[in-house]
Structure 1
């Protein structure tokens, strides 16, 4: 089964080692620019899995490609990041990236509920800063409600990054075939991820 995983801001394949061993992993900003995503997945099929910023990008720019997949799974999606996370805090992160980027990323991982000790590559600082600027400005306002049978929306009930109100805005416009609300934070466990794919 072909699996494509579109990660989130500062995501790392080491966060999901089993999945990374079998899936095509696309990481925004450090691996591709937002406008490149439609072309990157245009020939793909099987399962389209995404997390947070990646889920936002798919809703905004790749909705027309959803029918070619057996499953589309969006974890912690949002229409605008600032629906959940105040712009002033994102700007504080941008300022921090200029001083101590490793600390900013480590703090973000902690708020995600990340349990792995992930190394930070300083060379990614410009790309990650660009990603934060994107999160301030990028927004998607659908023109109408869309029902998508092969869509699963996932939101951890303890998510501190994409909070409930931002997830509810997605549900106002997209009626999925399935909604899953695991008892976790922003990052869901790899076991839950694999169960979602198998389902």
Structure 2
């Protein structure tokens, strides 16, 4: 399987072990900074972006989507503060300085994550950088409106990326196929594999 997976904030490989073994598994602010992501992409069959990864792909790499047979963006957004006020993210940043494991555990719980994931202490600076980015980053335009290979996915129980924020992405990408799943923010690995395999 020729696959590139771009994770979200606080993603770890243990969340998606099969995907991590199946291709390139990239974690924002740990493996790359957003402006560098186009340099990592060489084309192929499928690229999947989840949450912050979907946002970065849309912002920095939509001009490269035609290099892939299929582009799947799960829980994309134009601006994260459309879903969560800046004050909440600032509180998370403060919490990361004091007790990062608690902040990350709470976030994963809100994602619907069932695994008890450990936090690598060396990733705290990356997590803070990610939240600072999410406070400021905004997409006004995406060069992908005519691509037939684009799929936008949203879970109807998503507590992280609100429905209105997802709908804003769908509005600027009218040619994309929209899939709404019975899911929280974290779409299960089996569900993603089914999306990759297609009908």
- TM-score of the aligned structures, taking structure 2 as reference length: 0.96
CA separation in 1, counterparts of 2:191 and 2:175?
Answer: 18
- Structure 1 spans left out of the alignment, 5+ residues: none
Equivalent in the alignment of 2:66: 67
Equivalent in the alignment of 1:133: 132
CA separation in 1, counterparts of 2:65 and 2:142?
Answer: 17
Aligned residues: 198
Equivalent in the alignment of 1:46: 45
Equivalent in the alignment of 2:10: 10
Equivalent in the alignment of 2:20: 20
Higher mean Cα deviation, 144-153 or 165-174?
144-153
CA-atom RMSD in angstroms: 1.3
Q: How does 1:55-94 map to 2 (within 5 A)?
A: 55-94=54-93
CA separation in 2, counterparts of 1:147 and 1:107?
Answer: 38
- Is this contact kept in 2: 1:144–1:173, CA < 8 A? no
CA separation in 1, counterparts of 2:52 and 2:91?
Answer: 18
In the TM superposition, residue 143 of structure 1 has moved relative to its aligned partner by: 7.4
- Is this contact kept in 2: 1:152–1:176, CA < 8 A? no
Partner SS, residue 138 of structure 2: coil
Instruction: Say if 1:117 and 1:70 are closer, same or farther in 2 by CA, change over 3 A.
Output: same
State the 4+ residue runs in structure 1 displaced beyond 4 angstroms.
none
Equivalent in the alignment of 2:158: 159
Equivalent in the alignment of 1:121: 120
Equivalent in the alignment of 1:150: 149
CA deviation digits over 1:128-181, x for unaligned, max 9? 101000000000101788232000000000000001010010011012442111
- Is this contact kept in 1: 2:6–2:53, CA < 8 A? yes
CA deviation digits over 1:34-61, x for unaligned, max 9? 11100111x2311010100010001111
Higher mean Cα deviation, 151-160 or 136-145?
136-145
Instruction: Say if 1:168 and 1:65 are closer, same or farther in 2 by CA, change over 3 A.
Output: same
CA deviation digits over 1:8-39, x for unaligned, max 9? 00101110111111121000001111111001
- Is this contact kept in 2: 1:153–1:176, CA < 8 A? no
- Is this contact kept in 1: 2:76–2:166, CA < 8 A? yes
Partner SS, residue 122 of structure 2: helix
